[in-house]
Amino acid sequence: MSGRCLLGIDIGTFSSKGVLVREDGEVAAESMVEHSLDIPSPGRAEHDPEKIWWHDFLVICADLLKLSGVKPGAIEAVGVSTISPAVVAVDDSGRSLRPAILYGIDTRATEEIADLERATGARLSSQSASPKVMWIRRHEPEVWARTRWILNGSGYLNLRLTGSRTIDVYDASIFSPFFDTGTGTWSKDIAALVAPVEMMPAPTWTSALMGRVTREAARETGLGSGTPVITGTADAAAEAVGAGLAGPGDMMVMYGSSTFFILRTEGLMAPRGFWASRFLERDTFVVAGGTATAGSLTRWFRDNFGGEERAAERGGGANAYAALSRLTASSPPGSRGVVVLPYFSGERTPLNDPDARGMIFGLTLGHTRADVYRAVLEAIGFSIRHNIEALKAEGCRASRILAVGGGTRNAAWMRIVSDIAGIEQVVPARQIGASYGDAFLAGIGIGMFSGTSEARRWVRPGDTVRPDPSNRPVYDAAYGLYRELYERTAELMRRSGALART
């Protein structure tokens, strides 16, 4: 195949995906690699940067070059994204010293969060990266003594590709208050609590050219030596670009292992319980948040209660998730009184409670597996409604909601969420994921595009999922129960968590 191409690769919680995209947005080749999530103990979530991130990167590069027939020299630029935050300590040679500590599903740094909040007045959560750095410093002194750099996920991959160390302004904001979102620099005043500024990568804009593929990386990846590489960003931000997030009022809801949303705003805001930051370019701003579970919860249900569907899939039948989705037709809206609290990995926004625990409430001998599965899907709908209501209370309103991610393939789930939250969701006509946005951002870096507003050249809207008003009364009642269940059991959840740690 001839013509200019852009390479985008994204590392997710359970899989990595890459694409080669032509200048006009047509995909020349796609590749996907599945991997595991390491849970070494309750409340901890990790990836091995070498065995998962770099391994997947190499496999995907080889696949894309083979499948497309594209010559390495035809790849104009590379853009990467990863789950965020992903805190990795590396030594002088750039090798990771321990598994990367992942985003809000890793709740180990509870004490560090409290200490940093007391010292700075900031409001933090398990999504915050600085407490995770503090945890390494306090609990693994032998690792800390050998640490030369603290990197994020894309920073680690870029270091392997180019030898340079950067982080984009958007992903750096998750290190707040150590990273000052107002000045775009690391705070020397807070460095004593977290890490020396000299250990942190240089903040820059997402599409800035941070380096070029070295000869060594070219030998490993098959890419051309000297290929430009941009700074890259978090997976959700890249997915937002690939979904067509274009201006203030646009909100992306990403249905992945968790849900994550990004709402474009006119200026830099300071909402309580959410994460406000600069976005991918100068004079762009967002408010972000997300739940701790979504696809990970449906995966949990499939693995523990979907044996019949999994066996059928292994025998050549329908995908297990698609088969489970059909169960929802056997249970009415409201799941006949079953309510699930989806806090199986704590909860991020708007609760920001790492001690929150999951619950299946209201079971009787008359309930079925279909009722529980529908209640699992409804639980994510309730959590999204909770976030949207909390955002509105802070003056942050969405005028257009773009739904993306693997969960959007479950049409029943999308209808349930729209009914519960009373929202319309626009699903892009073609969904590839964050890697598609990575490729577009790489195009900005080499001047192929002027900015993210030109993403409309690649992105086309697809179906719109609209709420059914007739389901509103039952969902309003169930939502009230959902909210009250947490309020009444929060202290019991903390005691349960303490018991699990003994």
DSSP 345-386: TBB-TTT-BTT---EEES--TT--HHHHHHHHHHHHHHHHHH
Statement: residue 80 has pLDDT above 60:
yes
Q: What is the pLDDT of residues 452-462, one digit of tens each?
A: 989 888 988 88
Contact status, residue 380 vs residue 290, Cβ threshold 8 Å: no
Classify 328 as helix, strand or coil. Answer: helix
Which architecture does CATH list for 5-236?
2-Layer Sandwich (3.30)
The predicted model scores a pTM of 0.85
Where are the chain's structural domains? 5-236
Which strand (E) or helix (H) includes residue 18? strand 15-22
Tokens 């569907």 correspond to what residue?
A: 309
For β-strands 15-22 and 5-11, DSSP reports them as antiparallel
Q: What is the pLDDT of residues 353-370, one digit of tens each?
A: 989 999 999 999 999 999
499 confidence band (pLDDT: 50, 70, 90): confident
Q: What is the pLDDT of residues 125-176, one digit of tens each?
A: 888 999 999 999 999 999 999 999 999 999 999 999 999 999 999 999 999 9
Statement: residue 1 has pLDDT above 80:
no
Which residues, including other chains, have CB under 8 Å from residue 215's CB and lie 6 or more apart?
225
Contact status, residue 9 vs residue 17, Cβ threshold 8 Å: yes
Q: What is the pLDDT of residue 286?
A: 96
Statement: residue 272 has pLDDT above 90:
no
Sheet holding 400-404, edge to edge: 275-278, 285-290, 259-265, 250-255, 400-404, 425-428, 461-465
Statement: residue 502 has pLDDT above 80:
no
Q: What is the pLDDT of residues 19-57, one digit of tens each?
A: 999 999 999 999 999 999 999 998 899 999 999 999 999
